[in-house]
């Protein structure tokens, strides 16, 4: 690995000040460090944000849950407040990677990285999340721009992710048996205002499937989406699963999610 | 260069290190604590698992500079007065290892499991150890060893 200058920021202001076109923020490092080791990414400065106290923690207020960017997957998985209000979110966190990854990896890191097969981006879309940064608030629907691409600008730091508490919800992942990343993951959430069916793993970027959501708005049961066909032409295809298999999994996992709601 | 202060296996250590030093490299190459193994070096195999402030992590995927002020326990820190930890005893007794390369990570990970779950089921043990890969045993005796240790701890 090429060396860099390690900085530990005390607050968001200092983190921003230290950032440059050749720097990266470091939270859990579960993707950043392997990428640097493989030479896929090199930085002059690594700005550790884990010591910014304000960025960690969970709070529930009325209709939403706020999770600090450096909150670890284990904390979300074990949070009594989240288990009570959005159990699907704690079970999603429990299914990420392995225990050691969950002890280090953070929600902010997962979202900022926007891996096509990551779990949290689907939660953001399904639960109408608002991403609070050090500069602005971004709706999840405008945050995830493409493969490993988000609306974040250089020096912009995720501080909190705010999830809307749904009436009911479920996340059903068909995991890669080795990595536990989603081959396809479907997050169904029924809100007062409508239904979201967020899909991860199937395409280069997480998305809301409008057709499945529409069918579920008219009748929230697995029967109403049973037999629906999803177009596979823009889907990922690799050694783990063909595009056609992924398209089929979208419907299968969506049905499972509705039944588990 | 960065100066880090760490407590490793109960001993306070202060060292000047390069910013990009991984914890696994720091333990093995600088402190000669070679019980922590580097297998895949991509945070998949779990041979490098150690405890940081009581929680298991993969030391190949953490910068030592990042852990300044932490308390770290490695496989070398488990035995007390020359007596093996019950988890080590159980792995020995029930042949939970063959080549032994994955064993330090398996043991450290399994101890972390028992901290939160005193009597795990076979399934819970298998799920917990999904980040620890063994290419010899077929896992049966590892699961048996963790259960045995749970009954003794």
Query: Domain containing B73 — which CATH number?
Result: 3.10.20.30
Burial label, B3 (beta-carbon count in 10 A; 0-12, 13-18, 19+): exposed
Confidence of residue A180 (pLDDT cuts 50, 70, 90): confident
In chain A, which residues have their Cβ closer than 8 Å to the Cβ of B19?
3-6, 46
Check: CB of residue A91 under 8 Å from CB of residue A102: no
Identify the domain containing residue A200 by its residue range: 168-260
Is A178 within 8 Å of chain B by CB? yes
Domain finish residue from B77, B110, B132: B77
Task: Tokens for A181, please give them.
Answer: 């990343």
Please count the structural domains in chain B: 2
Is A242 within 8 Å of chain B by CB? no
Q: Are residues A142 and A179 in the same domain?
A: no
Domain finish residue from A131, A164, A197: A164
Confidence of residue A177 (pLDDT cuts 50, 70, 90): confident
Q: How many other β-carbons are positioned within 10 Å of the β-carbon of residue B83?
A: 10
In chain A, which residues have their Cβ closer than 8 Å to the Cβ of B128?
99
Task: Say what percent of chain A tops pLDDT 70.
Answer: 100
Q: Are residues A150 and A216 in the same domain?
A: no
Mark yes or no for CB contact A29/B56 under 8 Å.
Answer: no
Q: Are residues A254 and A185 in the same domain?
A: yes
The shortest C-alpha distance from B130 to chain A (Å) reads 6
Confidence of residue A178 (pLDDT cuts 50, 70, 90): confident
Please state the rounded mean pLDDT for residues A26-32.
Answer: 97
Q: Are residues A209 and A131 in the same domain?
A: no
Give alpha helix (H) positions in chain B. Answer: 23-25, 86-93, 103-116, 122-128, 140-152
Q: Are residues B57 and B107 in the same domain?
A: no
Domain finish residue from A164, A184, A218: A164
Please state the rounded mean pLDDT for residues A197-211.
Answer: 98
Query: Least CA distance to B69: which residue of chain A?
Result: A51
Q: Are residues A84 and A149 in the same domain?
A: yes
Identify the domain containing residue B104 by its residue range: 86-152
Q: Is A184 helix (H, G, I), strand (E, B) or coil?
A: strand
Q: Are residues A157 and A205 in the same domain?
A: no
Is A48 within 8 Å of chain B by CB? yes
Q: Is B117 helix (H, G, I), strand (E, B) or coil?
A: coil
* Chain segment A138-168, per-residue pLDDT in tens: 999 999 999 999 999 999 999 999 999 999 9
The shortest C-alpha distance from B142 to chain A (Å) reads 17
Q: Are residues A15 and A84 in the same domain?
A: yes
> Residue A249 has what pLDDT?
98
> Residue A42 has what pLDDT?
96
Q: Are residues A61 and A143 in the same domain?
A: yes
- One pLDDT digit (tens) per residue for chain B, 153 residues: 999 999 999 999 999 999 999 999 999 999 999 999 999 998 999 999 999 999 999 999 999 999 999 999 999 999 999 999 999 999 999 999 999 999 999 999 999 999 989 999 999 999 999 999 999 999 999 999 999 999 998
CATH code of the domain covering residue A223:
3.30.390.50
Q: Are residues A146 and A209 in the same domain?
A: no
Q: Are residues B51 and B6 in the same domain?
A: yes
CATH code of the domain covering residue B104:
1.10.150.120
Please count the structural domains in chain A: 2
> Residue A179 has what pLDDT?
84
Q: What is the dihedral of CA B112, B118, B124, B128, to 10 degrees?
A: 0
Please state the rounded mean pLDDT for residues A170-176.
Answer: 97
* Chain segment A51-73, per-residue pLDDT in tens: 999 999 999 998 999 999 999 99
Mark yes or no for CB contact B66/A29 under 8 Å.
Answer: yes
> Residue A22 has what pLDDT?
95
Q: Are residues B66 and B22 in the same domain?
A: yes
Q: Are residues A103 and A68 in the same domain?
A: yes
Residue A247 pLDDT > 90: yes
Q: Is A185 helix (H, G, I), strand (E, B) or coil?
A: strand
> Residue A52 has what pLDDT?
97
Q: How high does pLDDT run on average in chain A?
A: 97
Q: Are residues A128 and A183 in the same domain?
A: no
């Amino acid at each position: 690995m090429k060396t860099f200058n390690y900085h530990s920021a005390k607050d968001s202001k200092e983190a921003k000040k230290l950032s440059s076109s050749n720097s990266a923020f470091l939270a859990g490092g579960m993707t950043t460090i392997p990428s640097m080791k493989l030479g896929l990414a090199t930085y002059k400065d690594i700005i550790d944000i884990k010591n910014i106290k304000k960025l960690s923690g969970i709070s529930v207020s009325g209709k939403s849950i706020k999770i600090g960017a450096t909150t670890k997957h284990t904390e979300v998985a074990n949070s009594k407040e989240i288990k009570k209000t959005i159990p699907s979110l704690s079970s999603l966190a429990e299914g990420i990677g392995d225990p050691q990854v969950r002890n280090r990896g953070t929600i902010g890191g997962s979202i900022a990285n926007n891996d096509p097969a990551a779990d949290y981006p689907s939660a953001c879309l399904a639960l109408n999340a608002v991403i609070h940064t050090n500069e602005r608030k971004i709706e999840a629907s405008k945050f995830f721009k493409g493969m490993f691409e988000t609306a974040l600008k250089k020096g912009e730091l995720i501080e909190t992710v705010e999830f809307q508490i749904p009436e009911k919800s479920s996340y059903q992942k068909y995991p890669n048996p080795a990595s536990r990343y989603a081959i396809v993951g479907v997050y169904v959430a029924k809100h007062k205002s409508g239904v979201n069916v967020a899909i991860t793993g199937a395409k280069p970027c997480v998305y809301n499937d409008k057709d499945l959501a529409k069918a579920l708005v008219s009748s929230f049961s697995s029967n109403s989406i049973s037999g629906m066909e999803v177009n596979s032409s823009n889907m990922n295809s690799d050694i783990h699963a063909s595009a056609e298999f992924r398209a089929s999994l979208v419907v299968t996992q969506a049905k499972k999610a509705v039944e588990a709601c | 260069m960065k100066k880090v202060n760490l407590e490793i296996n109960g001993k306070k250590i202060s060292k000047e290190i390069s910013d990009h030093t991984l914890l696994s490299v720091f333990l093995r190459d600088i402190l000669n604590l070679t019980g922590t193994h580097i297998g895949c070096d991509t945070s998949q195999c779990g041979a490098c698992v150690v405890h940081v402030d009581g929680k298991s992590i993969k030391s190949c995927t953490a910068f030592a500079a990042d852990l300044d002020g932490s308390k770290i326990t490695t496989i070398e820190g488990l035995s007390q007065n020359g007596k093996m930890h019950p988890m080590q005893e159980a792995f020995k007794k029930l042949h939970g290892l063959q080549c032994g390369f994955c064993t330090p990570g398996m043991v450290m990970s399994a101890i972390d499991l028992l901290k939160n779950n005193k009597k795990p089921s076979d399934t819970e043990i298998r799920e917990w150890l999904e980040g620890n890969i063994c290419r010899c045993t077929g896992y049966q005796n590892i699961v048996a060893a963790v259960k045995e240790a749970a009954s003794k701890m």
